Amino acid sequence: MLLLGAELVIAVYLESKTIESPRTFTDVLSRSFTIIQKHADLEWRQHADVIIEPDVSPYAWDDFTKTMELVRAGEEAALRALPAIRAAIEGKRIVTGK
């Protein structure tokens, strides 16, 4: 990540509700990606300075009817992460516009 010029890496991890009994090909594919993502977590997490993890577990990955609830979960998680973000910025001595 830092090779691309970033001074600070803020990642977002979204873990949606697991489909208990896959009924369609898309459900099986989604579960496959979830398994792959779990294994990839260790790699990408070590490159992030801060990880924001909204609680989206009550929602299915394709539940687009709950957009406002999902956005609200992201906003709440970002607000909770602000102290860590500020500390990471200060620790890296990043110059901001403020």
pLDDT in tens, 3-28: 677 889 999 988 766 656 778 888 78
Nearest Cα to 78, choosing from 10, 8, 1, 3? Answer: 10
Chain mean pLDDT for the chain: 83
98 band by pLDDT with thresholds 50, 70 and 90: very low
In whole angstroms, give the CA distance from residue 23 to residue 51.
32
Query: Contact at 8 Å (CB) between 18 and 24?
Result: no
pTM of the model: 0.71
51 three-class SS: strand
Tracing tokens 């890296």 back to the chain, one arrives at 92
What lies within 8 Å, CB to CB, of 62 at 6+ separation is 26, 30
| Per-residue pLDDT tens digits for 54-63 | 999 888 877 8
Tracing tokens 């009994």 back to the chain, one arrives at 21
